[in-house]
Structure 1
Amino acid sequence: NDSKKSDSDNDSKKSKSVNDSKKSDSDNDSQKSDLDKDLQKTAAVGTHEDSTTQNVASRENDIFTEQHAEETGSNQDIVVDGLAGTEPNPTSHSDGSPVPQEAEKHGADEFAQTEGRIINMANLDIGDDMVKAKLDDLKNSSSNPVVVNLSNTPLTSDCVSSVLDLLKSKPSVEAILLGNTRLGDDEVSELVDGILKLHNEKVKASEENDGVKELQELDLSNCKFGNIGAESLAHLIKSTIDIDTLNLSSNRAITSDGWMAIGNALEDNTSLETLTLDYNDIGNEGVEYIANGLQVNKSITTVDLNSVGLKERGGECLMNMLKKNTTIIELNLEGNDISQELKEDMQKYIKLNKTMVNEKEKKGTRKNQLF
């Protein structure tokens, strides 16, 4: 009798948990539906309160300026954004002794004294052989870097092989910054194929060794690749690799076919949190594919679509996406030809998403306290 009673209690708890989950989803849908009706009424009347206009516009500016600060805030103390320029190399140590400059430094000793956090090889114009030599030296050093910055350093296929060798030998690397390295389609495809191969090897190793670190951030901004590279990246996005930050800014050779591949991949992605697509020629057609992917995506919270050639129709696609999406809380639409009224309506859905995300976090905290 005690056993039957225990089973009955367990079934009751499971049933209650399922019902609570269904109720939460139903409440979210109801809130979205109510907001949609309110917006339709507002559109019919054709008026917006002046105070709301000012508040939404102000909040938009806050969102757009805070986005990148939140993205990189945890690394501000150790990372310099390669696309914005890097700090000059110091000419002397704190004790006054001279620091060897780039042309003088060579060998694994160059990295032996690093603290294992940041390796900055940005803005180097030293040729393939020297870049490969530096990557090989880092691979053979005792350093365990977390971020490797090669931004603004021209890379070729040979250099990509060295980057992949480095990622294999240094599993500590969580971010690889390759912005403005002129990789092109073939090199991006080679890089992605190599990363996926390493991922499969690490998955197998994690089963044997109880978890292995993986790459979490990839910056391929302004790398001059087109649809071939985009289709390769779609395979990366669709995979189970735990990349949470992906920067594809300023790759204007990608057409609607490439954005369709990426949009389709977003539907299956479960790890991305920040997606940067600004300064691409996405247009209304391309953003429709992106919006379709984001509509069902459950992990992405921040999307940058600054200056991607959107007009009102593209904005309406994003509006329809936000009616279904429950996770996006930051959306940058600066530099697009979208009406202020439509932007304000989208911000209302984003505000609702923020409220729902906060409620879920509070519920999660309460559950952790109970158990």
Structure 2
Amino acid sequence: TLNVAHNNLGRVGIDVLAASLKEALMVNTSVTNLNVADNSLGTEGMVDLGEALKVNRSSSVTDLNVADNSLGPEGMADLGEALEVNTSITTLNVAHNNLGRVGIDVLAEALRVNTSVTDFNVANNSLGPDGMADLGEVLEVNTSITTLNVAHNNLGRVGIDVLAEALRVNLSVTDFNVANNSLGPDGMAALGEVLIFNTSIKTLRCACGGARVQHERDGSQRCKQPMCLRRR
């Protein structure tokens, strides 16, 4: 495990790290977890890290955390290119990166062809309904992702409707976090209808009465409270 999170590496620091990674990961098979979260990498820093991940496409790194790095859409473009060829990363955390519609669109293209990522955290990225539409299209064809976190993305009723349609088709997601997305009773009802048909989802995390809660699968039983679902 290589954890350099919260170190304000910036472009210069990540330059050094990326250069080392290009060489080290070719011979070092012990590093499986790479955490560079909260380092102000920005777009330029992601260019260097992306290059390292492309060169070491079959490296030992399986867990990549680039959360809270102000990557934005351009930074996601570099990460997306790496994901199209990297086959080792299974856990990917890109939370808190201000991706927006453009950023998730770029990343979604990569996830159409990437078959290694199983745990995907895209929480708090201002996706909105349009961004969720892009991700929803990916979920209809991607059968690798089993854990999905889209919390804090301002999805609203429209966004959850799009996601619900994707989950009618996708049978690989088993752990799903949609907390704090202003779904409202109607949005939760739409999601509940999906869970009647989709028997793959084992754990659903949602917002219930303003609190963050976790519900386990329980047949097709629905939680009596209007803002949550319980399935086990």
- Superposed pair shares fold, TM > 0.5: yes
Other-structure match for 1:154: 40
Seen in structure 2, the aligned counterparts of structure 1 residues 319 and 228 have a Cα distance that, compared at 3 Å, is same
**Aligned-pair CA distance for 1:132:** 1.0
Q: Residue type of the partner of 2:43?
A: S
Structure 1 CA distance, aligned partners of 2:74 and 2:17? 23
Match of 1:256 among 117, 121, 129: 129
**Aligned-pair CA distance for 1:238:** 2.4
Answering whether residue 104 of structure 2 is matched by residue 230 of structure 1, we say yes
Cα deviation code 1:215-265 (max 9, x no counterpart): 11111000011111111222233224221000001112x221111111122
CA RMSD of aligned residues (A): 2.0
Seen in structure 2, the aligned counterparts of structure 1 residues 165 and 271 have a Cα distance that, compared at 3 Å, is same
**Aligned-pair CA distance for 1:121:** 1.2
Other-structure match for 2:94: 220
Q: Does the 8 Å contact 2:128/2:156 carry over to 1?
A: no
Other-structure match for 1:172: 60
Cα deviation code 1:317-371 (max 9, x no counterpart): 1011111101001000125669853456x31xx22xxxxxxxxxxxxxxxxxxxx
Q: Which runs of 5+ in 2 are unaligned?
A: 212-222
Q: Does the 8 Å contact 1:296/1:324 carry over to 2?
A: no
Seen in structure 2, the aligned counterparts of structure 1 residues 329 and 163 have a Cα distance that, compared at 3 Å, is same
Cα deviation code 1:298-323 (max 9, x no counterpart): 11100001111110110111011111
Other-structure match for 1:183: 71
Structure 1 CA distance, aligned partners of 2:170 and 2:114? 14
Name the SS of the counterpart of 1:341 in structure 2: coil
Cα deviation code 1:134-156 (max 9, x no counterpart): 22123323433111100111113
Cα deviation code 1:10-50 (max 9, x no counterpart): xxxxxxxxxxxxxxxxxxxxxxxxxxxxxxxxxxxxxxxxx
Name the SS of the counterpart of 2:166 in structure 1: helix
Answering whether residue 11 of structure 2 is matched by residue 128 of structure 1, we say yes
Name the SS of the counterpart of 2:80 in structure 1: helix
Structure 2 CA distance, aligned partners of 1:119 and 1:126? 14
Name the SS of the counterpart of 1:180 in structure 2: coil
Q: Does the 8 Å contact 2:33/2:62 carry over to 1?
A: yes
Aligned length: 216
Cα deviation code 1:110-144 (max 9, x no counterpart): xxxxxxxx111111114311221122123323433
Normalising by the residue count of structure 2, what TM-score does the alignment of the two structures yield? 0.85
Q: Does the 8 Å contact 1:311/1:337 carry over to 2?
A: no
Other-structure match for 2:220: none
Structure 2 CA distance, aligned partners of 1:127 and 1:261? 30
Structure 1 CA distance, aligned partners of 2:75 and 2:21? 21
Superposed counterparts of 1:320-339, under 5 Å:
320-335=193-208
Structure 2 CA distance, aligned partners of 1:235 and 1:336? 35
Q: Does the 8 Å contact 1:310/1:337 carry over to 2?
A: no
Structure 1 CA distance, aligned partners of 2:209 and 2:39? 31
Seen in structure 2, the aligned counterparts of structure 1 residues 336 and 140 have a Cα distance that, compared at 3 Å, is farther
Identity of aligned residues (%): 22
Seen in structure 2, the aligned counterparts of structure 1 residues 215 and 123 have a Cα distance that, compared at 3 Å, is same
Q: Residue type of the partner of 2:80?
A: V
Structure 1 CA distance, aligned partners of 2:91 and 2:19? 21
Superposed counterparts of 1:176-325, under 5 Å:
176-196=64-84, 198-199=85-86, 214-252=88-126, 254-325=127-198
Q: Residue type of the partner of 2:44?
A: D
Name the SS of the counterpart of 1:268 in structure 2: coil
Q: Does the 8 Å contact 2:83/2:114 carry over to 1?
A: no
Structure 2 CA distance, aligned partners of 1:337 and 1:246? 24
Cα deviation code 1:157-199 (max 9, x no counterpart): 3322221232223611111101101100111122112321x24
Other-structure match for 2:216: none
Q: Which runs of 5+ in 1 are unaligned?
A: 1-117, 200-212, 352-371
Structure 2 CA distance, aligned partners of 1:268 and 1:292? 13
Q: Does the 8 Å contact 2:64/2:92 carry over to 1?
A: yes
Cα deviation code 1:188-214 (max 9, x no counterpart): 122112321x24xxxxxxxxxxxxx52
